Each structure stands twice: as C-alpha cells, then as structure tokens.
Chains A and B, each alone.
Chain A
C-alpha cells in the first residue's frame, strides 16, 4: 500500500515565478491538507480539500491556491513567489471522519532565489 506521495522532491524557483506542487493521498483517503514548514519551525496549515472543494483555510494569502481532482489527488499552486515562501511543503491525507489519523508525505523542498 503506497503511502502519501509528493512531487517533485526539490524545486528551485526565482522570485515572481509560479510553482505547482502535487500530492497523491494514501489509498482510500479522501481528504488532503497542505502545510508549510519553515526551517526550524512546526508546520503551518495552508488549506484542506474534500470532495474537490476547499473545506478549510489557514492564514495564507490568495497567492496560495489549490485543487483536488476526482481521484482525490491534489495540487498546491503558489503565484508571485517571494523569498519567504522557501520552505518544506507537506501534504497530509486522511478520511473525512474527524477522528482519523493524518498521514504525511515526504514533502517538497521549495527554494526561492
């Protein structure tokens, strides 16, 4: 059983560019959440998708947007990249039931120069 997978592993972009990160949830999971983790800090919640809709959003600007596909996979898009967007981006999947455990992918390391 494949766990949560993310692509690419690493990415280097220039300020002002746009980036798309991808996530495939653990088999059977229908909910995908995205987190940003700056170096030396805990992850910060960006948003969550369920049934192809954004269900919840953290305190991130509109430059951060996402999408969930019918197969439950998801994309995170970031426009007009800033140096401060450099971080590890983590995807987590779970069942819609609130009591269920979340499983995290290996992350995508984004560096903005």
Chain B
C-alpha cells in the first residue's frame, strides 16, 4: 500500500527566505507526482505536475524535483512572500492501477511572516 509522508508538518519563516518542503513515498511505481496548494477551508490548486520520467518542473518561484528511485520529491520556494502562506500537499498516482486516484500526504502548513 502506497504511503506518502510530508515533513515538516508545519513551518514558519520570515519573508524573503528560500525554503524546501519534503515529500516521501513508499512505492516507487508511480505514474506521476503532483504538488498542490490549499488555502484554509478551500479547494486544492495544482502547482506542479511531474511525470515519472521527469526529474523536475519549474513554475515561477517554484521548483519541484522527483527522485523516483529513492521515493522522494522536494518543492523549493524561492524568495518566500506572505502570500505563500498556505498548506502544501503532495500526491502520487500509482502506476499499476485501473484508475488515476491520488494518494496524498498530510501536508505542510507554511506561514511566511512579513
């Protein structure tokens, strides 16, 4: 059974810092990995999707890497801003599966202080 873990569970940083969020998964047989952002009480916004054949994806100040063999992904946020405060979730899609369900980690709650 695939399990996804995110460390740390919560993080507080001053504005302007570069930071790294970690995601690990137990089964390397994945189709892809997706990072999401969730504001309190809201739905999920997709940030980056990395296919299993890719090593990284970039969007603006965000960079996500994938090391499938070690079962790890990182989300790098450059020059953090107060508007980045949210919960960040990673999710993997199993490779050998009839559908395309996602298995989520518990999330990292990020607070960026002005």
Contacts and interface: CB of A to CB of B under 8 A. Distances in A.
Contact of B107 (A42, A55, A107): A42
A102 B42 contact: no
Interface string B67-79: 0000000000000
Interface residues of B, number: 28
Interface residues of A, number: 31
A58 B101 contact: yes
B68 to A, nearest CB: 15
Interface in B83-114: 89, 91, 93, 97-107
Interface of B: 4, 6, 31-32, 34, 36, 41-46, 49, 51, 89, 91, 93, 97-107
Interface of A: 4, 6, 31, 33, 35, 40-45, 48, 50, 55-56, 58, 88, 90, 92, 94, 98-107, 109
Given A33-B102, A42-B6, A43-B44, 5 more contacts: A31-B99, A44-B104, A45-B102, A101-B46, A104-B43
